[in-house]
Structure 1
Amino acid sequence: MSIIVVGGGLIGSAVAFTLRDAGLEVEVLDAHLPGAGWRAAAGLLTPDGERLAGTPLHASALESLNLWPEFARSLEAHSGQSVHLRTGVFRLGPVPEVGEGPHGLTRCTPGEGRLHPASVVSAALTGVRVTRARVLALRPDRRGVSLQTDAGDRGGRLVVLATGAWSSAFGLDIRPVQGQALLLEGGNDHPAVYGTRRRGHGPHGYALGRPDGLYVGATARLSASVQPDSWARRWLQGAARTLAPTCSGHAVLSQLVGLRPVTPDGLPLVGPHPTLPGVVVATGHGRHGALLAPLTARQVLALVRQALPEAA
């Protein structure tokens, strides 16, 4: 019996890759639901930009940031695909610091960068058995865990729940926070820039060039809607004019909508499920899924080895 990872987003795919790389048999069940957070994610790896200094997440964020270069190399060597990891994140400031970055930009924490989430997921799932199925119920049994899905029942030695904004269906205190972003034509080489907010005013948001265009993000509101709206589009176009003025008039390729999984205290849930034996939880990363993915995958591997001594 395989270890079953429920959810094939950034966290689920990173976990599946790491378990498989450790020699474990893995299957991913992915519901392919609209609004999956990774499909709308920027791919920024920036504790500074996320204002994590002084928070309980800061140490983990820095540790995971340091894991990304080797993790990216492993993904690329395994899959033969680039994940487009690039270093250099800048802050838009009122006074440019000479020699720090492009005109008017201040370089942030050394080692910060960005990547392309869709490429990470594709690379991580290369060679992994992925089944399109939505899990409806989990039942621990003597052999492991039984899963009822809309594609039939199956069993796993152990289950990893990486179900993002839909984790509340499995008894976890997770709420969806909607984020919207724009993908503009061109601007692939634009630097990764985030704005600053001073006393509630001034430039904010972030923009970065990716292989699929110029990404401008992002809104945030407590909602499970996956429909784009005109207010968010106007706000994002305003952010583009501030953060990427040379590209702000480019055609809009798509308006992205994703649901971030957020816990009451803002901290991810990584550990044994509180009521379901044989189930490990890896969810609740909010807006930090890309940044924390390699550290979370390493933590889940340790939990799996603890639960299944023969897997060590």
Structure 2
Amino acid sequence: MPESVDVAIIGGGVMGCAIAWQLAKNGVSCALVERGSFGGGASGATAGVVGPLWHLDPADPDMFRLGMRSLELFPAWASELTEAGVNPEFQQQGVLKVAFAEDEVEELRGFHRWQSQLGFGVEWLERDDVLQREPNVSPEVRAAIFSPQEGCVRGQRLCDSLAHAAGRLGAKLYEGVEVTGLRHSGERITGVETTSGEIASGHVVLAAGPWSGIGGRWTAPGGPLDLPVRGVKGQRMLLRRPGFMPLSPVRNSSVYVVPRLDGNILVASTREEGRSDETVTAGGIATLVSGALISFPSLDAAAFVSARAGVRPATPDGKPIIGPAPRVEGLTIATGHDAVGIMLSPGTAEMVTQYLLDGNDVPLAPFSAGRFS
């Protein structure tokens, strides 16, 4: 292991990988340490939809700006990462949100209203328009909205491409190595202790997903670092049916059905509060199957390919924690993104990198861990 780096990053999910790449691009030496494999948790078990217009509310302008900035960055990210050697399979083919009940139609009307007022160019589709666009959608569909600027990315490939690109730029990559503690001198964090030795660093970024949180695992100069981050389990599955492929991700009230470039169809995902295991369950698969068949009844003949589960990091107010740790010098946090971590990774990595390079001239206050004090 290196004796010293500028920044040590704990956690090799999408946040850790993205931050490592952005730091390496800016000439910052860094070490990315992951106890399993890069993207092996929730980041690789996701729908990968980049859809801030569906998941974020302009009533929370800070989150909405972060989402729209991330959407703006994704095309250039995908191009750079592909040139670096691994294609993250970002597709900006739009997202279709479908409604099958009257209350769902009214909800879509509300989305369409504010999205149109803000000039996002979303399209309202009546039943016949939906069926013309996606002939395999259930004839029970009542309406839909289509947002052409949104899209999807393959979560595992994104993590792989970020880590690969960071490594090419000199970042030190460690899989199968667990961080067991924080090193500190006085009031300042000075590195990390791992199962393979110590890494001295000028700064540490904690991006360990749900393992960043409550429980006092991370002991800082002022005592155990307790963050209100809980685990929320999510499961997804892959199906395959020759001759069947949606034009774009399709979202109903319970699941996404997402086309992939490898010919598989991804269905995601469950939301299981209070679960922190990564076991694929019969109940989870049943939920995914029933949700997929609402939108596409013909998927009942699809072949089952595989399934995965991961644990997302969630906070009490639904917003991530991004920025310096309270009462501790030399430690920055990037966690708590829940189900939108993939989507918010470009903007989050940009903010963390700017903060580490430029100091306090970054709008991190809305995401501060101090809001929970």
Return the TM-score normalized by structure 2.
0.74
- 1:9 and 2:13 equivalent? yes
Distance in 1 of aligned mates of 2:284 and 2:317:
26
Q: Say if 1:140 and 1:276, in contact at 8 Å, map to a contact too.
A: no
Can you list the C-alpha shifts for 1:58-78, whole angstroms capped at 9, x where unaligned? 23212211111112122222x
Q: How many Å separate the matches in 2 of 1:55 and 1:97?
A: 34
Closer, same or farther: CA 51–157 of 1 in aligned 2, 3 Å: closer
Amino acid aligned to 2:48: G
The residue correspondences of 1:173-184 to structure 2 (distance < 5 A) are 173-184=228-239
What letter is aligned with 1:249? A
Question: What's 1:291 paired with?
Answer: 343
CA distance in 2, matches of 1:97, 1:4: 54
Shift of 1:189: 4.1
Match of 1:193 among 250, 253, 262: 250
What is the CA-CA distance between 1:282 and the residue it aligns to? 0.7
1:255 counterpart SS class: strand
1:19–1:207 distance in 2 versus 1, CA, 3 Å:
same
- Structure index of larger Rg: 2
Contact 1:140–1:278, Cα closer than 8 Å, also in 2: no
| Greater mean deviation of Cα atoms: 262-271 or 40-49 | 40-49
> Equivalences for 1:229-308 in 2 at 5 Å?
229-307=281-359
1:110 is displaced (CA, Å) by 3.3
More deviation, 280-289/124-133 = 124-133
Q: Does 1:130 align with 2:173?
A: yes
CA distance in 1, matches of 2:240, 2:76: 31
Q: Report the equivalent of 2:96.
A: 90
> What is the percent sequence identity of the aligned residues?
27
Q: Specify the code of the residue in structure 2 equivalent to 1:11.
A: M
Give the stretch that moved more between structures: 211-220 or 187-196.
Answer: 187-196
Contact 1:181–1:236 (CA under 8 A) maintained in structure 2 = yes
Is the contact made by 1:7 and 1:31 (CA closer than 8 Å) also made in structure 2? yes
Opposite residue 181 of structure 2, the aligned amino acid is A
Distance 1:93 1:61 in 2: 24
Number of aligned residue pairs: give it: 301
Paired residue for 2:134, among 90, 102, 121?
102
Aligned alpha-carbon RMSD (Å): 2.5
Q: Please state which structure has a larger fraction of its residues in helix.
A: 2
CA distance in 2, matches of 1:10, 1:231: 27
Say which is worse superposed, 163-172 or 246-255, in terms of deviation.
Answer: 246-255
How far does residue 235 in structure 1 lie from its aligned partner after superposition?
1.3
Q: Which amino acid aligns with 1:153?
A: E
Amino acid at match of 1:136: T
Q: What amino acid maps onto 1:21 in structure 2?
A: K
Map Cα deviations across residues 146-177 of structure 1 (whole Å, 9 max, x no partner).
31112222211211111001101332211000
Contact conserved, 1:66 with 1:111, CA < 8 A, in 2?
no
Q: Give the TM-score normalised by the residue count of structure 1.
A: 0.88
Match in the other structure for 2:207? 162
Residue ranges of structure 2 left out of the alignment (5+ in a row): 101-125, 138-142, 219-225, 362-373
Q: Distance in 2 between matches of 1:172 and 1:249?
A: 45
Q: CA deviation at 1:193?
A: 0.3
Pair 1:38-2:66 in alignment: no
Corresponding residue number in structure 2 for 1:210: 260
Paired residues of 1:49 and 1:194 also in contact (CA < 8 A): no
Deviations 1:286-307 (A, max 9, x none): 0011110000010011111135
Residues 139-150 of structure 1: pairs in structure 2 closer than 5 A? 139-141=183-185, 145-150=190-195
Per-residue Cα deviation, 1:67-106 (whole angstroms, up to 9, x for no partner):
11112122222x2221111121111235336389434674
* Residues 18-27 or 32-41, more deviating: 32-41
What is aligned with 1:76? 82
Alpha-carbon contact 2:191-2:203 (below 8 Å) kept? no
1:54 pairs, out of 59, 62, 65, with 59
Residues 137 and 292 of structure 1, relative CA distance in 2, 3 Å threshold = same
Q: Distance in 2 between matches of 1:6 and 1:163?
A: 6
- Return 212-221 or 243-252, whichever deviates more: 243-252
Distance in 1 between residues matched to 2:18 and 2:40, nearest whole Å: 19
